[in-house]
Structure 1
Amino acid sequence: MKKILGAACMVLAASSVQAQSFQSTDDAIAYRQGAFQVLAAHVGRLRPVVRGQVPYNAEAVEDVVELIETLAELPWAGFGPGTEGGNSKKDIWANNKAFEDTRTQFIVNVKALKEAADKGDLELVKKSFNEVGQSCRTCHDNFRHKR
């Protein structure tokens, strides 16, 4: 897992530099949508655990959450000025403070999930997982067009 995390950090560093200089709005949109898809896929890996559908394995959960924490930082670079479009509402740019507050709360909730996973406390992981999910819903409700 440490090798995977190291590689993810290198991708994060490289993409942060690259993300600030998208060649087109379409590139920024594709970047953020792709980052959200990868993030959602890894968050989804925890769903069966918190629902009790698979046995709790503290080490495996900790590994997934460590990756989620890294991935949670990626999409935001794709929301710079002039990157309006995709499924994003114009409110992201018109009401940037609310969007930034929502993003910040998401990151805070992911960090709380990481702390819960590090403690190996399944009930705390469940609670934190639900708070991460609520952050996602809040952002989608306020800043994403319904499909």
Structure 2
Amino acid sequence: MKFNKLLLAAVACGLATGANAQAKPEDQIKFRKAGYAFMSWNMGKIKAQVVDNPSSFNKDQVAAAANLIAATANSGMGALYGPGTEKDAGSQKTRVKAEFFQQPDEVKKLAVAFIKEANELQKVATTGDAAAIKAQFGKTGESCKACHDKFRKDD
């Protein structure tokens, strides 16, 4: 278990530098924005079915969305925060605060928490229990928001 947490932290925070060594800063920003946008869209699909309109609940759709969220959370997107991505690059704008790059221990803590909650959402979604999914959806959203609150600039 301890090894898994260390591995997740390393992957989440980009200590595996292969991805950023292959992509220009502009592309890293573009790729991470795309990943987060797709994850957000899938969070919206779950929200629509367990919060906004529970009568529309479809276990298979919710499970598919939760699978994508967990896969993205575990994909090592932290590697897309390489040198040069702390500011706008080319045509890509970033909303990441400089503190993100200055507080790696806090970033690791938040990343590991989000990965944990996303994995739990994936697990709970397979049960088809809409109330349990709704509760875990809230926890997952809060862990995502914790990073936004700390490290994302407002528009």
TM-score by length of 1: 0.80
Structure 2 stretches of 5 or more lacking a match? Answer: 1-15, 88-93
Secondary structure class of the residue paired with 1:119: coil
The alignment partner of 2:96 has SS state of: coil
Structure with bigger RCO (C-alpha 8 Å, 6+ apart): 2
Please, what is the CA RMSD of the aligned residues?
2.0
Structure 1 letter corresponding to 2:147: C
My pick for the range that moved more, 85-94 or 55-64, is 55-64
For each residue in 1:102-139, what CA deviation from the matched residue of structure 2 results, as whole angstroms up to 9, or x when unmatched?
A: 01101100011111111221111001101111112111
1:58-88, Cα deviation, whole Å (9 max, x unpaired):
2221122112211223432211344212110
Report matched runs for 1:101-120 at 5 Å: 101-120=109-128
Deviation at 1:52, TM superposition (A): 4.6
Q: Cα distance 1:52–1:36, how it changes in 2: closer, same or farther (>3 A)?
A: closer
1:98 is aligned to: 106
Q: Tell whether the 8 Å contact from 1:32 to 1:77 is kept in structure 2 after alignment.
A: no
Q: Distance in 2 between matches of 1:58 and 1:28?
A: 34
**Alpha carbons of 1:96 and 1:18: their partners in 2 closer, same or farther (altered >3 Å)?**
closer
Report the counterpart of residue 140 of structure 1 in structure 2.
148
Cα 1:52–1:29 shift into 2, 3 Å: closer
Aligned to 1:87: 95
TM-score (norm 2): 0.76
Alignment partner, residue 132 of structure 2: 124
The list of structure 1 runs, each at least 4 consecutive aligned residues, that deviate by more than 3 angstroms after superposition, is none
* 1:61 equivalent in structure 2: 62
Name structure 1 gaps, 5 residues minimum. 1-15
The number of equivalent residue pairs is 132
